[in-house]
Homo-oligomer: A and B are copies of this chain.
Amino acid sequence: EVTLSGDARMGVTNNIASGDTAFTSRARLKFTMSGETDGGLSFGASFRAHEAFNANRDALTSAGSVFISGAFGKLTMGNVAGAAEAAVGDLSGVGFTGLGDYSDTMFLTGDGAEPEPIVQYAYTAGDLAVYASATDGVTLKNYALGVSYTMSGYNFGLGYESTDAADGPGVDGTHLVASVGGTFGAVAAKAVYGKADIGAGTTTQYGLSATYTANALAVTGFYKVADAATKTTAMGLGAAYDLGGGASVKGGLVNVDVDGIEDTVYDLGVSFDF
């Protein structure tokens, strides 16, 4: 079976090279394919329309993904999140365009970091989920491990990942990253901390996000630091108002400081899910 879903957005942002306020719009469509074997295994694949060319390119590029799942867990191949990302995830972002996605956690593997298919294995047992992911080791020896746990309304994530440019001259690295999140009345909050050794340097990242929800309105703020050779500090504030039927009005404001050089960007628009 093939099912279709889509998303679109339109509005204004000043987050372009010139810093002027510009129109921004896009429309996307996703193909989701699913089936079940006679023995009860589920399988499927998905990719977006604009990824169709790369989703067809076998071992060469990563776009879209293919999975099979059963009592043994779920095995996914293609452009899939690494195990550390699957367990820890990102902070909540702001704006209808993401405004540079500074609230995203930096990971060394998965989600397109490798220009080839990787494998992710996931197993869930009640409140516990474990993840493992790896490249095939030909040009990159990347792997990651992750675990997430939910207890008394709190959720915890922990991930470790390693990248190794096989026999090539690329940069090697390892990364330990953790998150904790919870809901406190109308506020959902999450904190992330990670420390990575990449080549000869160290990157430390940490941050916090919180979303307050009141009926159709959700207000989100985040603070995120990525401290490497350069130090990037980003703060964001945004709001979303749910119009129902898949439509929202969203806006955001992000201040980014890179070693003391600041930039403030914003956006405002409507976002649709179909």
Contacts and interface: CB of A to CB of B under 8 A. Distances in A.
B136 A21 contact: yes
Nearest to A4: B2
A10 to B, nearest CB: 4
Nearest to A46: B27
A212 interface: no
Given A23-B118, A33-B8, A138 B77 contact: no
A245 B35 contact: yes
Nearest to A18: B138
B6 A45 contact: yes
B136 A25 contact: no
Given A1-B274, A41-B247, A16 B59 contact: yes
Contacts of A4: 2, 4, 31
Contacts of A263: none
A154 to B, nearest CB: 33
A52 to B, nearest CB: 4
Given A10-B77, A78-B10, A270 B43 contact: yes
A26 B55 CA distance: 5
Interface string A135-176: 111100000000000000000000000000000000000000
A31 B50 CA distance: 12
Interface in A221-267: 243-247
Given A10-B77, A35-B246, A25 B58 contact: yes
A12 B49 contact: no
Nearest to A248: B37
Interface in A10-39: 10, 12-13, 16, 18, 20-29, 31, 33-39
Interface stretch (A61-69, A121-129, A187-195): A61-69
15 contacts: A2-B5, A4-B31, A10-B117, A23-B116, A23-B136, A27-B55, A28-B56, A29-B52, A33-B274, A34-B274, A35-B274, A38-B245, A43-B245, A44-B272, A44-B274
